[in-house]
Chains A and B, each alone.
Chain A
Amino acid sequence: MTATVGQQAQAAARANDVWKVYGSGEAQVIALRGVSAEFERGRFTAIMGPSGSGKSTLMHCLAGLDSVTRGTVAIGETTVTGLGDAGLTKLRRDKVGFIFQQFNLLPTLTAKENILLPLSIAGRKPDPAWYDTVIETVGLKDRLDHRPAQLSGGQQQRVACARALVSRPEVIFADEPTGNLDSRSGAEVLNFLRNSVREHGQTIVMVTHDPTAAAYADRVVFLADGEIVSELIEPTAETVLDTMKKLDTPAEVGN
């Protein structure tokens, strides 16, 4: 099945008949079965599905962290499939931002240094206006000189968000960004992600299994057993939950 969305805007990331197979023979697991999807520029897309549905795998393949068995993946104009390590590194530097469930900040660096790290690695100077905007939006002005250990979980994740945003990547991939946060901090982070899409035209692809989190997105793509099975535009927590419930039943029967 193919998701037929995204005609109205140019795609920031695209998967074309992507297959991902692990192992071989008896132990073979098919994580993705011919997934094709487009993620439009300037939109906030959530990928949902029960555990084992392949949602994380899809995101890893899209971001160039994992190779695909068949099919192609592209970020903007760049075809990711077939790039070597140097190409992938450059892609990650210039086109992609990441937000992880475990924040993944460097403990030795201050918040500010963490935020600027991707730029310093690439040897680029931050755009001062944009940097100020990002700092303003994440609300960390007075915490910039703190080290991660001195920040709360929510604050750490906001630093991670700022780090992803500051280099203005083509697309930001967020992997369960609220998975390790309490609901209030989670809501803050999600609001912040939604605002960066609405106000600054950022593209975000977020993997989550939390319907409340998915409801912050503009669009939700549902995966089950490695295939895109459904999608919602302008979702609410209720509609997402309903869709999930419908998905669960056949999936269990299938097992």
Chain B
Amino acid sequence: MFRATLKSLLARKVRLILSGLAVVLGVMFVSGAFVLTDTLGRSFDSTFADAYSEIDVNVAAKPKVDVDEFEGEQTANPLPAAVVDRVKQMPGVASATGVVAADGARIIGSNGKVVTSFGPPQLGENWTGESELLRLREGRAPQAEDEIVINRALATSAKVQVGQTVGVLTAFESKKRDFTLVGVFGYSGDRDSIGGANEVFFTTPVAQRLMLGEPDVFSSITVQAADGVSDEKLRDDLAGALGADYQVKTGEQLATDAANGLKEGLSFFNKILLGFAAVALLVGTFLILNTFSIIVAQRTRELALMRAIGASGRQIIGSVVLEAIAVGLIASVLGLAAGIGVGALLAFLFGKLAGGLALAGIGVPASAVIGSFAVGLVITVVAALLPALRASRIPPIAAMQDVATPDRPLTKVTVAGSLVTGVGAVLLFLGLSGNAGGQTLTTILGGVLFAFIGVALLTPLLSRPVVSLLGAIFSWSVPGKLGRLNSGRNPRRTAITAAALMVGIALVTGVTVILDSAKGSIGALAQDSIKAELVIAGSQGGPRPPSFDPGVLDHAKALPGVQMVDGEYGDMAKLNGQSTWVGASSDIASLRQIFSAKPTAGDIDRLGPTQMLASSDTATSRGWSVGSTVNVQLTRGEARTYTVSGIYESGQLLNPVMLPVTAAKDFAIPQPFQGYIQLAPGTAVADVQPQVESLLADSPEVSVADRNAFIEQQTGQLDGLLTMIQILLALAIVIAVLGIINTLALSVLERTRELGLLRAIGLRRSQTMGMITVEAVVISVFGALLGVVVGTGLGAAVVEALKDEGITDLILPWGQMGVFLGLAAIIGVVAAVLPAIRAARINVLGAIAHD
């Protein structure tokens, strides 16, 4: 039996490879994700271990507001210089150095644009001398106020040279300040940066003023232990002496913490990759199920013969499952190998993008190997189980008969399909309406999965009428008509093939519906509620939002034709101990008018230095009313008490809490992110815009745009997201194309005799190819049609659920849907090429001569 199975496997190499390919792609994603995470994780570890290798113990003040990885960068709380002196005096300390290191030092490159970062920090630091790790490569250390030294990688990307004047934006000044570049440094091991960070070194007083906002403070203290004192002991001693306001960590701990922070972000990326693996594998399951069903159908006689000569039903199942295991194993091995390649490639690209992260060697973690084989084998075997069962039910007598497999009724599968679709719908409803009890995402994903399987089960029933309708387009020619009839002749096979395509198209359509609706809703909202004609804003490339010099706001207000100007600041703050996003406006009365905010209580037109405003939703949920007092801890400074003086109606574009502009100096970024300019009636936008533009000459991160361009710019960020998702989901569609090729190839094989007959009675080669092509096009357009319908349904459901979040307009991307259908037709043509050539090459005599 084993030998027979092996032989039949070898005889069917090509088609098994085709179906195995789907598994290969899915497994590739799985192992790629693990390899990438592992490689980058180890790279981070070694990078930070190295970066902190010269620190025995580090002392920092406790941050005032905790910020997690997804909300932005943590801003260090400065500690007074006196602490450095105190630490120096302590026993066991050999030396203690006050260090300034804060994010937000941005170099303006030789092209006049700010050098951006896609993730690694842009540190502004104080020069404390060279070390084993850090060496000047060119020039000298900064000595004067207007001198800086930068790392080699930054000098390269900014295209600046020692001796040149370089514009720098700093944490406390988003207005360009000119410095002379006096030196360029690098790290040991010929590295131009550590982990891609951009570093700018100032003299200590300048660094303190520009990066920390006040003189005589430091971000942290680097401590060297005296001989014979262990790092851990020194840490505990220092911690005990300094008290709970300070965090004391060993260099090792610091490295681990820093690496872990990045790894958290990485695990999110890992989950996304695994999500796409799941999609690829779902589609692959359809493909394998179909292949094995067809193979079993074609081998009916052979399997019946086995039964006739004494094989048991169990042995038949065993032989089919064995085939599946073999395919799954081979596919897993290939997928694992491909995944290691993909993981390495992604890690390499990531390293490049992050500005030269030194990669640790590519490693293959056990999780990648185990995950690959588990996923590959389980998916293949599960998909083959149904066909195996069917094979075991073939009666021995089938070996003697000319098997005319009658169409089994579709009742059972239709009932099952309706049930599964129903379960999917219920899950979706629960998940989207927020009744899933904390398992919202799982419930929604489960709902989508069930919906897909359910619809796939319903497809055979749908395929008859839809396919014959679609095929009617081609029925004017004989090959077209034959192709149409062929695509309708095995509804199950057509259905599964089409369903595989459906999954990919449905996901793309669903995402497009959601994002287009979001875009449209936000656009419409902004159009309706922003009264400003001009908006100052930049597009965010890295973790730090672009900001500009607040002086621009005053100058803009003085321009002729300008009626109102409002600059917006924002940060995470602790309000009564709870993290909340707070905003501040340079002119609260203008803000109110520009955004048409409506008061529900109190006065929202003015704001005293200890007053705050809250949105109605926030006020309700926190139990605030006019007159309530709130304890507010900002990123910097001491906690203060504010009194709620007004409440405004919640709106999509309004912050939950507004503080007076005086509070903004204690925000992590004490500069405005956006500015809104309303013109006096009758003033032309074109008259004012260039003047504002020239005001922004020293704030190159932002630009001024009219309202439409601003809305476009803001919603345009969704387009990038959409494109990325579409590219990744295209993979699912590629797998589905393999499925169509596979089904057609097998059908051609199955119909050899028929094709021979058609050729014998005068069908030309080109007509034969046309016939196969029509069949493929009908199947793929059917799949796409299902996908578009299902995707629209899913998308509309999500949009409906997000109604309260402000996505109020359901926008159906008709154009895109048309493109998908057109694409499906092309996919059909492409998928038909090989099977069609094969069909056209059929040897007429071989096909019809009796066997």
Contacts and interface: CB of A to CB of B under 8 A. Distances in A.
- Tell me whether A and B are bound partners: yes
Interface of A: 56, 60, 65-66, 85-86, 89-90, 92-94, 97-98, 100-102, 104, 106-109, 117-118, 120-123, 149, 163, 175-176, 179
Q: Which of B478, B753, B762, B844 has the largest number of chain A CB atoms within 10 A?
A: B762
Contacts of A122: 762
A216 B486 CA distance: 38
Interface string B818-851: 0000000000000000000000000011001110
B761 A65 contact: no
B486 A108 contact: yes
A93 B762 contact: yes
A94 B757 CA distance: 15
Contact of B765 (A85, A108, A123): A85
B758 interface: yes
Nearest to B841: A85
A146 to B, nearest CB: 14
B482 interface: yes
Given A85-B765, A108-B489, A102 B753 contact: yes
A188 B797 CA distance: 65
B759 interface: yes
Contact of A100 (B478, B486, B488, B757): B757
Given A89-B762, A100-B757, A121 B767 contact: yes
Given A60-B849, A101-B850, A102-B753, A121 B763 contact: yes
B489 to A, nearest CB: 5
Interface string B484-512: 01101100000000000000000000000
B469 to A, nearest CB: 17
B482 A108 contact: yes
B753 A60 contact: no
Contacts of A120: 478
Interface of B: 404, 478, 482, 485-486, 488-489, 753-754, 756-765, 767, 844-845, 848-850
Given A92-B762, A97-B761, A175-B849, 16 more contacts: A65-B760, A65-B844, A65-B845, A85-B765, A92-B760, A94-B762, A100-B848, A100-B850, A102-B753, A102-B850, A106-B482, A106-B754, A106-B757, A106-B758, A121-B762, A121-B767
A109 B485 CA distance: 8
B478 A121 contact: yes
Contacts of B850: 100-102, 175-176, 179
B762 to A, nearest CB: 3
A82 B404 CA distance: 40
A234 to B, nearest CB: 29
A109 B486 CA distance: 10
Q: Which of B761, B763, B765 has the largest number of chain A CB atoms within 10 A?
A: B761
Interface residues of B, dominant DSSP: helix
Contacts, number: 71
Contacts of B482: 106, 108
Contacts of B753: 102, 104
A65 B843 CA distance: 9
B467 to A, nearest CB: 12
5 contacts: A65-B760, A65-B848, A104-B757, A104-B848, A175-B850
Nearest to B850: A101
B34 to A, nearest CB: 48
Contacts of B489: 107-108
Nearest to A98: B760
Contacts of B845: 60, 65-66
Pick the 6 closest A-B CB pairs, nearest first. A93-B762, A108-B485, A104-B757, A65-B845, A118-B761, A120-B478
A87 to B, nearest CB: 11
Q: Which of B478, B489, B760, B845 has the largest number of chain A CB atoms within 10 A?
A: B760
B761 A93 contact: yes
Nearest to A90: B762
Contacts of A175: 849-850
Contacts of A179: 850
Nearest to A97: B761
B380 to A, nearest CB: 32
Nearest to A89: B764
A163 to B, nearest CB: 7
A190 B762 CA distance: 25
A92 B761 CA distance: 6
B747 to A, nearest CB: 12
B765 A89 contact: yes
A253 to B, nearest CB: 29
A245 B764 CA distance: 43
A179 B485 CA distance: 29
Nearest to B753: A104
Contact of B761 (A66, A86, A108, A117): A117
A179 B844 CA distance: 20
Nearest to A179: B850
Q: Which of A90, A93, A117 has the largest number of chain B CB atoms within 10 A?
A: A117
A86 B840 CA distance: 12
Contacts of A101: 850
A153 to B, nearest CB: 10
A179 to B, nearest CB: 8
B760 A121 contact: no
A65 B845 CA distance: 6
A109 B481 CA distance: 10
Contacts of A56: 849
Contacts of A92: 759-762
A121 B757 contact: no
A121 B760 CA distance: 11
A179 B765 CA distance: 30
A175 B845 CA distance: 12
Nearest to A149: B404
B788 to A, nearest CB: 28
Q: Which of A93, A101, A108 has the largest number of chain B CB atoms within 10 A?
A: A108
A179 B764 CA distance: 29
Contacts of A109: 485
Contact of B764 (A86, A102, A176): A86
A154 B654 CA distance: 83
A122 to B, nearest CB: 6
A181 to B, nearest CB: 13
Contacts of A106: 482, 754, 757-758
Contacts of A93: 761-762
A134 B831 CA distance: 41
B763 A89 contact: yes
B479 to A, nearest CB: 8
Given A102-B753, A149-B404, A176-B850, A118 B485 contact: no
Contacts of B848: 65, 98, 100, 104
Nearest to B479: A121
A212 to B, nearest CB: 19
Contacts of A176: 850
Nearest to A108: B485
B758 to A, nearest CB: 7
Contacts of B488: 108
A101 B753 CA distance: 12
Contacts of A108: 482, 485-486, 488-489
A216 to B, nearest CB: 21
B759 to A, nearest CB: 7
A66 B847 CA distance: 12
Nearest to A148: B404
A142 B753 CA distance: 28
Nearest to B840: A85
B443 to A, nearest CB: 44
Contacts of B757: 98, 100, 104, 106
A102 B486 CA distance: 20
Contacts of B486: 108
Contacts of A86: 764
A196 to B, nearest CB: 17
Nearest to B484: A108
A24 B148 CA distance: 87
Nearest to A117: B761
A163 B758 CA distance: 12
A56 B845 CA distance: 11
